[in-house]
Amino acid sequence: MAFVFVVVIFLPLIIAYNSYDFWWKQAYVFEQPQASYRYVSVYQWNGYNSDTSQPINFYFSTSPFLNSLFSSSVRTPIFRSAEIDDNNDGLSDRLEVSANLPVAANEKITGVSCAVYFDVQLNSIAKYLFDAVIFANYESGTPIAKLDMEGDMKIRLSWPLSAYGGYKTPYQNDPLFPAFKFGTSAEEFYLDVITRKSNNRNISTVFQPTLQYVSQRANPVTSIDSFVNSSLIIRIPQQPILYTPPLSALLKFAWIQYMSFFIVVAFLMHQLNSFIFEHKLLPTFTKLDPIAADDKKRR
């Protein structure tokens, strides 16, 4: 009986442990991030002057402080932004921004870069609060008249998030956009610096383009100024978030696997024991319990 007990208890554990993923190290939860636009956008346009063939570069930000740092190259466009909640669930489903840049007839824009600043909150199993930036870029070999870009905001993780505890703010003291204060260097707000800083984080956001539509500029009348229109739609879909399960979930998952094998092994061992004893395949003997026999006689 001791041998049967050991087999019934430990054999399911051995089978379950050697099966796939006994310890639940990683899991996914589908969640729509709560992304709030911080009303900070940065645009850069680059191109050339058709008269002098010299490169040109224009800068614009919705922050007056940033514009003051890049005052030599600032050109103000007609800028619009709108957060849209399609299903009225309290979460923004998309952000639409557009910038119409006035250009002279001899100014040819061939590239547009844009960075949009967000506060992102994860509220499901892994609870996180962090700032994020969406970077979109387009370069062309010919002058651009109109650029329409659409895409999804995706959460990028270097390793799984922790599901322990309440809300975590891992980058509270290291924001992507430094504090707007006197003495801040303009280099801290370069788009390549901000995007590189974002990519170095464990948790960040990336822009996954789904549509790019470009209208090339024909040769305009030289005396008429015009606009370069660029629009960006950032959709915020539900997506899988990778996290490390807490100890309670890990033990529950392991226990379910163990019990599934335990039931099968216990049933098979019971059937085997019954067959062996009924057919006397092994030497057996019957032992009478004297106490039980005396009780039976008294009755």
Residue type, 65: F
Can you give the pLDDT at residue 188?
80
Distance from C-alpha of 37 to C-alpha of 45, rounded to nearest angstrom: 22
> What would the pLDDT profile of 119-162 be if each residue is shown by its tens digit?
999 998 899 999 999 999 999 888 999 999 999 999 999 999 99
> 202 exposed, middle or buried (CB, 10 Å; 0-12, 13-18, 19+)?
middle
Instruction: Look up residue 87 and give its DSSP letter.
Output: T
Alpha carbons 234 and 250: distance in angstroms, whole number: 36
Taking residue 155's Cβ as centre, other Cβ atoms within 10 Å add up to: 21
Angle made by CA atoms 241, 246, 252, in degrees to the nearest 5: 110
SS3 36: strand
> In the numeric block, which tokens belong to residue 171?
């980058």
Model confidence pLDDT, tens digit, residues 193-207: 899 999 999 999 999
Range from 87-91, 113-117, 132-136, 277-281 carrying the lowest mean pLDDT: 277-281
151 phi/psi in degrees, rounded to 5: -175, 180
Predicted model pTM: 0.78
Of residues 297 and 277, the one with the higher pLDDT is: 277
**How far is 126 from 130, CA to CA, in rounded Å?**
13
Contact 95, 39 (CB under 8 A): no
Return the number of other C-beta atoms located less than 10 Å from residue 49's C-beta: 13
Helices 2-18 and 247-278: crossing angle in degrees, nearest 10, is: 140
Query: CA–CA separation, 93 vs 96, rounded Å?
Result: 10
Show the CA angle centred on residue 114, arms to residues 39 and 240, nearest 5°. Answer: 80
What are the backbone dihedrals phi and psi of residue 200, each rounded to the nearest 5 degrees, phi first? -80, -10
Query: In terms of Cα–Cα distance, which of 93, 192, 178, 91 is closest to 135?
Result: 192
pLDDT of residue 223: 43
